[in-house]
Chain A
Amino acid sequence: MSNLLIMPVLIPLCAAVLLIFLKENQRAQRLVAACASILSLAAALILISRIHRHGIQTLHMGGWAPPFGIVFVGDMLAGLLVLTTALTAAAVLLYSFFTIGPERERNYYYVFFHFLLVGVNGSFLTGDIFNLFVFFEVLLISSYALISLGGTRAQLRETVKYLLINIVSSTLFVAAVAYLYAAVGTLNMAQLSQRIAETGQGGVLNVIALLFLIVFSLKAGLFLFFWLPESYSAPPLAVRALFGALLTKVGLYAVLRTFTLIFAYDPGFTHPWIAVMGAAAMILGGVGAIAYTDIPRILNYNVIISVGFVALGLAAATPDALDGAVFYLMHDMLSKGLMYMLGGIIIMLAGSEKLGDMGGMLRRYPLIGWMFLVLALAVAGIPPLSGFAGKVLIIRGAFEHGMLTLSLIGLASSLLVLYSLIKIFMLAFWRSEPAREYPKVRAKGATAAAAGLLAIVIAMGIGSEIVYEYVAEAGAVMAHPQAYIEAVLKE
């Protein structure tokens, strides 16, 4: 039992409630938001060190022991993702100080920002599948508000689609929970895992597993991503960074959790589906990323590719590949946040989203250019940077598992990622300057925020050994769910 586990949910929640009362006071709003961000970081760090030293932490709400009460479980996977969320959120928060504008700040931007973090952290920490649904809804409702905040026509149009997709997928989620409860008679993830292990994962449970896969894939953009590229183009830059970094990753975390803990007992049936969906996401995302010539769409399709890549790690399900999936997931949250931030800065400086209007920016803004290049290399998985370790582990795991075609698709997708990002670099920075005036904009503050995140991405790459020690711990729990079950259900 550790009350610390509630902190990543409680801190943003209190901050959000406090921020509601500071509507008119911009400086106070920023101060509260920044303090909450620092506190979340501290809480996440303490949580991880506690998990590292004492094993999986659990918290029984109201003292009701599982499987009857609501339980929060902090294993290393959840801990690492909470930490990554806190880091990304801090950088995006700093970025939004400079880019979001007073109009949105006055209309509760920071409030929704923090409610979103409540949902994200809650989804990572909960040990109960219905609460996963509830935290999903918390983050989705905040995301509806964030997409539509500002009320331009494009935003409203995209919110309607986004809302409809998510209502339908949430409905399917509740249906899947209902079937699961009918079949197994519990909603506590550890107990679900235990009971399915006892009875065997037969026909009905496989169908339920696929229903969950569909639901989470809709939210993660794993193959069922048709709504994503447009919806993520509508909101302002900072919101895009937040969404690209966090939202799809929560869906992906749910896939990882359910298919390594609950539906882990018939991988011959379920995991090929994940593999095929991951491969489809990588191929289609890759096609989209190289097809478009405007920055938001290229970045949106890059999100889809990386989701497919993590799915590949899960599909292989060897201990190595699972470690790789965790590592890559962390890298991806940080680097996608950074990618949207840098993309946003480029859009802001060039005054246009189309690559055709850009050129010659390397001479004007060398720092941004080189930062973007380093990021492109990191995302593609060039060795000293953070994408490399995760990629190697996943690909090696997939080869070990004999998934030759899929591994090759995974490798090819890295090339497509590199090509699509280098295309931005070449066209926006390297090409000679077009015959048009660049707007006079300053982006010092936003660049500082991006630089901070880039430093973390580089540090994570160079310090792979240290990060890997923790990642391996997370991967071990995923490979052997028994540890999780014992930690939750022990008396």
Chain B
Amino acid sequence: MELVMAVAVGILFMLGVYLILSKSLLRVILGTSLLTHGVHLLLLTMAGLKRGAPPLLGGEADAYVDPVPQALILTSIVISFGVTAFFLVLAYRAHQTAPEDDGGGAREGGEMP
């Protein structure tokens, strides 16, 4: 299972980087989004995938899952959603201010879909 996750993370990173390197700002935003999702999966995988029961406190459980990575991912997802939302608004505003060159001229010669 870890191997599958590693490959998935690799593919997400690859697609993310590819999209970030493209010209249109919207693709760049999608790219950053994929990149952060890739890193969340990485966090989950690196901390060890699910083994046994839910995370319990105080119970005499034989097996339990490490709750820390899930708490970390939750925080990280919230942050990445916030930043992505800001990025989208910024791109929209940049498109409004300077529609002729994609998003305020971050890159020359591209178009904003």
Smallest CB gap from B101: residue in A: A157
- Kindly state whether residue B64 has any CB partner on chain A within 8 Å: no
Contact check: which of B20, B42, B82, B104 meets A164 at CB < 8 Å?
B20
- Are B75 and A167 within 8 A (Cβ)? no
Cβ–Cβ contact B42 & A151, under 8 A? no
Looking at the complex, which one of A160, A168, A182 makes contact with B90 (CB distance below 8 Å)? A160
- Answer whether A157 and B36 are a contact pair too, CB < 8 Å, given A130-B72, A175-B42, A181-B69: no
Chain B residue, CB-CB nearest to A134:
B75
Measured between beta carbons, the chain A residues less than 8 angstroms from B98 are: 153, 156-157
Asked whether A157 lies within 8 Å of B106 as measured between CB atoms, the reply is yes
Query: In the bound complex, how far is the Cα of B10 from the Cα of A396, in angstroms?
Result: 46
Q: Are A159 and B90 in contact (CB under 8 A)?
A: yes
CB contacts under 8 Å to A, within B32-53, are 32, 35-36, 38-40, 42-43, 45-48
The interface residues of chain A lying within 8 Å CB-to-CB of B14 are: none
Instruction: Tell me whether B42 and A168 are in contact (CB under 8 A).
Output: no
* Chain A residue nearest to B82 in the complex (CB): A141
Within 8 Å by CB of B86, from A134, A144, A175, A177, lies A144
| Distance between Cα atoms of A130 and B71 in the complex (Å) | 10
Contact A137 B79 (CB under 8 A): yes
CB-based nearest B residue for A172:
B39
A174 an interface residue at 8 Å Cβ cutoff? Answer: yes
Interface residues of B in 64-94 (CB under 8 A from A): 68-69, 72, 75-76, 79, 82-83, 86-87, 90-91, 93-94
Cβ B40 vs Cβ A174 within 8 A: yes
Residue of A nearest to B16 (CB): A171
A187 at the interface (CB under 8 A from B): yes
B97 contacts partner chain A, Cβ-Cβ < 8 Å = yes
Asked if A182 and B47 sit within 8 Å, CB to CB, the answer is: yes
Q: State whether B46 touches A164 (Cβ < 8 A).
A: no
How far, in angstroms, from A133 to B79 measured CA to CA in the complex? 10
Chain B residue with the shortest CB-CB distance to A179: B46
Whether A160 and B39, one on each chain, are in contact in the complex, defined by CB atoms closer than 8 angstroms, is no
- Minimum CB distance partner of A187 in chain B: B68
Q: Cα distance A177–B28 when bound, in Å?
A: 24
A178 at the interface (CB under 8 A from B): yes
Known contacts being A160-B106, A174-B40, is A181 close to B20, with CB within 8 Å? no
Shortest Cβ gap from A291 to chain B (Å): 23
**Chain A nearest CB, measured from B20 CB (Å):** 7
Count B interface residues, CB 8 Å: 35
From the candidates B72, B83, B91, B103, name the one contacting A137 in the complex (CB within 8 A): B83
Q: How far is the CB of A333 from chain B (nearest CB, A)?
A: 26
Does A362 make an interface contact (CB < 8 A)? no
- Given that A164-B32, A174-B76, A175-B42 are contacting pairs, would A156 and B86 also be in contact in the complex, using a CB cutoff of 8 Å? no
Q: Which residues of A have CB within 8 Å of B43?
A: 174-175, 177-178, 181
Are the C-beta atoms of A157 and B104 separated by less than 8 Å? yes
Contact A160 B94 (CB under 8 A): yes
Complex CA gap A170/B76 in Å reads 10
| CB contact under 8 A between A157 and B94, given known A130-B75, A168-B32, A174-B76 | yes
A55 to B59, CA, bound (A): 37
**A143-159 interface with B by 8 A CB criterion:** 144-145, 148, 151, 153, 156-157, 159
Task: For the complex, give the distance between the alpha carbons of A362 and B2 in Å.
Answer: 68
Q: How far is the CB of B6 from chain A (nearest CB, A)?
A: 12
Query: A145 CA to B89 CA in the complex, in Å?
Result: 11
B32 contacts A160, C-beta separation under 8 Å: no
- Tell me if A168 and B20 are in contact (CB < 8 A): yes
* Closest A residue by C-beta to B98: A153
- The residue of chain B having its C-beta at the shortest distance from the C-beta of A138 within the complex is B79
Q: How far is the CA of A163 from the CA of B29 in the complex (A)?
A: 10
Q: Which of chain A's residues has its CB closest to B79's CB? A: A137
Chosen A-B contacts, 15 in total, with CB atoms closer than 8 Å, are A130-B75, A141-B83, A144-B86, A148-B90, A156-B104, A168-B35, A171-B39, A174-B43, A175-B42, A175-B43, A178-B39, A178-B43, A178-B45, A187-B68, A187-B72
Knowing that A164-B32, A168-B20, A181-B43 touch, tell me 6 more A-B residue pairs with CB under 8 angstroms.
A148-B93, A153-B97, A156-B98, A156-B103, A167-B87, A174-B36
Interface pairs A-B: 7 shortest CB-CB = A157-B104, A182-B46, A178-B43, A178-B46, A156-B104, A156-B94, A160-B106
The chain A residues found within 8 Å of chain B, CB to CB, are 130, 133-134, 137, 141, 144-145, 148, 151, 153, 156-157, 159-161, 163-164, 167-168, 170-171, 174-175, 177-179, 181-182, 187
